[in-house]
């Protein structure tokens, strides 16, 4: 099986390739364009959409190897194919084939279908490296359409009372999902500038993306749904918008008292990550000989898999170890 090492990031030393490292590396696979997966690498492997978003988010020059989904490319002694991760616009998994075996690295992913991301794909692999952000049984999300409908009702109810609904959502990912859903239901979203820029790029990269969203204009916010990133600066920006009701869109909404933690009037469990049942299902689909887990409840999920007779080990930044596996 392929040699996998972890030291401030996942490394495939036989191929000189790092997987979503937080620090700049000579050659890295970038699974998607969320800021915690970006760094100023010298050379990158990624999808065209992620490359476009990465350029907009951090600028800089780098050698880009652009791979559409499902098109294999040879790098040294290995063959790489990118598969949709179902996470956000342009998100990809890495499927690697070499004489040492096959490996599938998920990056952030989800199996639930969404409007704003291509459906998740998979292939059988001997080694599966997977993200486990929500790797506990209590994180079982309600059906996406039920969550969306509840958010739409929240927005409509407040608009009917001449109250401005404010949805806190990351600029890349859930914002595009909500823009699509709001427009489908006849509501007009106003987006904070960072979210507007990301949405414009996603609309360019995704044929069929709906138009009709607007850039935030606080003076004319009445009658619109504001979709803005969470954070203190945003709350300060919206102080003059009155009356308003706020909601956070996050998988952590399943935690008790989530709305109090985020300081909002409501919390809705809309996530672009796999929940616990889908993590288990994904292992069944890939049928790996070993599973290496990352992020969130990596250790707990690996323990759970071992109890089910599957070889599984956690890789995490907290370990501060280099594991030759």
pLDDT digits (tens, 9 = 90+) for 189-228: 999 999 999 999 999 999 899 999 999 999 999 999 999 9
Task: Please tell me the predicted confidence (pLDDT) of residue 7.
Answer: 83
Q: What is the DSSP letter of 303?
A: H
Task: Please tell me the predicted confidence (pLDDT) of residue 318.
Answer: 47
pTM to 2 decimal places: 0.94
SS3 169: coil
- The residue that leads in pLDDT, 62 or 60, is 62
- 320 pLDDT more than 90: no
Name the band, by pLDDT with cuts 50, 70 and 90, for residue 233: confident
Name the band, by pLDDT with cuts 50, 70 and 90, for residue 35: confident
Work out the average pLDDT over 48-75. Answer: 95
- 298 pLDDT more than 60: yes
Task: Please tell me the predicted confidence (pLDDT) of residue 232.
Answer: 84
Work out the average pLDDT over 9-29. Answer: 94
pLDDT in tens, 137-191: 999 999 999 999 999 999 999 999 999 999 999 999 999 999 999 999 999 999 9
Task: Please tell me the predicted confidence (pLDDT) of residue 270.
Answer: 97
203-209, Cβ contacts within 8 angstroms, sequence gap of 24 or more: 204/52, 205/48, 205/49, 205/52, 205/89, 205/90, 206/49, 206/89, 206/116, 209/116, 209/176, 209/180
How much of the chain exceeds pLDDT 70, in percent?
97
CA pair distance 283, 291, nearest whole angstrom: 8
Strand order through the sheet with 244-249: 214-215, 189-191, 225-228, 164-168, 244-249, 266-268
What is the largest distance, in Å, between two alpha-carbon atoms of the chain? 64
Name the band, by pLDDT with cuts 50, 70 and 90, for residue 294: very high
């Amino acid at each position: 099986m392929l040699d996998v090492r972890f030291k401030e990031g996942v490394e495939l030393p036989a191929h000189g390739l790092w997987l979503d490292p937080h620090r700049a590396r000579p050659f890295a696979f970038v699974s998607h364009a969320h800021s915690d997966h970006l760094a100023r690498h010298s050379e990158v492997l990624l999808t065209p959409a992620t490359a476009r978003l990465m350029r907009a988010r951090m600028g800089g020059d780098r050698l880009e190897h652009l791979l559409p989904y499902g098109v294999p490319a040879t790098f040294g002694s290995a063959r790489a194919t990118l598969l949709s991760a179902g996470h956000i616009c342009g998100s990809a998994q890495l499927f690697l084939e070499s004489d040492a075996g096959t490996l599938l690295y998920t990056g952030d992913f989800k199996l639930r279908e969404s409007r704003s991301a291509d459906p998740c794909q998979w292939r059988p692999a001997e080694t599966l490296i997977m993200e486990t952000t929500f790797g506990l049984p209590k994180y079982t999300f309600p059906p996406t359409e039920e969550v969306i409908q509840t958010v739409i009702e929240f927005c409509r109810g407040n608009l009917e009372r001449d109250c401005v609904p404010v949805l806190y959502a990351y600029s890349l990912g859930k914002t595009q999902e909500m823009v699509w859903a709001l427009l489908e239901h006849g509501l007009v979203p106003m987006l904070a500038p960072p979210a507007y820029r990301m949405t414009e790029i996603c609309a360019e990269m995704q044929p069929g993306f709906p138009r009709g969203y607007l850039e935030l204009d606080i003076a004319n916010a009445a009658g619109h749904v504001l979709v803005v990133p969470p954070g203190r600066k945003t709350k300060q920006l919206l102080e003059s918008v009155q009356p308003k009701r706020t909601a956070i869109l996050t998988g952590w909404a399943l935690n008790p008292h989530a709305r109090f933690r985020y300081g909002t009037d409501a919390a809705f469990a809309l996530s672009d990550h796999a929940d616990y049942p889908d993590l288990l299902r994904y292992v069944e689909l890939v049928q790996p000989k070993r599973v290496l887990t990352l992020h969130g409840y990596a250790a707990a999920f690996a323990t759970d898999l071992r109890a089910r007779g599957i070889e599984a080990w956690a890789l995490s930044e907290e370990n501060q170890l280099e594991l030759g596996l």
